[in-house]
Amino acid sequence: MFLRKLIIELCIYISIASLIWFFSDIYIASSFLFGAGVSYFSNAYSAYMLLVYQARSIKEEARRFYIAEFGKWSITVTMFALIFFFIDIAKPLVFFGAFVFSNLVTIFLIKTKK
């Protein structure tokens, strides 16, 4: 279930970036992919840390949650810094919009029950 939702998210982002590239420009599509990628990798790490490890007590579960959230935000901040330091983002508004959009997609995919 965890892996299936990650693959669905990745397919959504790649198809949207392909449509943006087809109708617009490669630089806008790459800005979208970078923004969605930051959210995708940080959320995937957080979900992995929360879902894969089996806690034996509530205290361990809370500790694992804090570790997962700290890791998620650390990955997000690090990826933002590396992208803005090493890569010239053509459209920063598209970058941040894709970041917010991919977080919303993650929320809606988690809320759906199958």
pLDDT digits (tens, 9 = 90+) for 75-88: 999 999 999 999 88
Task: For residue 95, give the H/E element and its range.
Answer: helix 92-111
Q: What is the amino acid identity at position 84? A: F
pLDDT value of residue 112:
62
- List, for residues 9-55, the tens digit of each pLDDT value: 999 999 999 999 999 989 999 999 999 999 999 989 988 888 887 77
Task: Please report where in the chains the tokens 């939702």 appear, as a residue.
Answer: 5
